[in-house]
Amino acid sequence: MWPPAVAFVPGADAALVACGAFVAFVNPARSEKKPPRVKTGIRTVAAIAVSSDGRTALVGGRPGTIEEYDVATRERRTTYDFGIGGVHALAYAPDGLTFAAAGDAGLVVCDAAG
């Protein structure tokens, strides 16, 4: 079993936390007993990255897809399948224009602006 994925949202008192096939949007400033969750199309979420402006999140895991979400609305924008197998790690470049994904079969770097 992979360790749980967590990513802080820049400029907000919030974090995204992997919960199996779900991502929870946790805000410690709110005393929510059950934070809002989004069901992903990913069987096991293992990696989360949030863009430097805090607007976009990438979620990846098994079986090998990456989903892009709008952090404010929690809506899925798009899904990527780069053929790299199960996704272990995701990261945005500091300028937010590029992201990288590492998986079972290698690494891919993608233009996040388009």
The structure tokens 């590029």 sit at 98
Q: Is the pLDDT of residue 94 over 60?
A: yes
Q: Does the structure show a pLDDT above 90 at 35?
A: no
Q: From 2.40.50.430, 2.130.10.10, 1.10.10.10, 3.40.640.10, which CATH number describes the 6-111 domain?
A: 2.130.10.10
Q: Specify burial of residue 5 (Cβ count, 10 A radius: 0-12, 13-18, 19+).
A: buried
Q: What is the dihedral of CA 113, 17, 36, 41, to 10 degrees?
A: 60
> pLDDT of 56-91, one tens digit each?
999 999 989 999 999 999 999 999 999 999 999 999
pTM attached to this predicted model: 0.90
The answer to whether residue 33 scores a pLDDT higher than 90 is: no
Model pLDDT, residue 107: 96
The per-residue pLDDT for 27 is: 85
Q: Is the dihedral of CA 38, 41, 44, 48 positive or negative?
A: negative
> Which of the residue ranges 26-30, 49-53, 58-62, 80-84 would you say has the lowest mean pLDDT?
26-30
pLDDT at 13: 83
Other residues' Cβ atoms within 10 Å of the Cβ of residue 58: 25
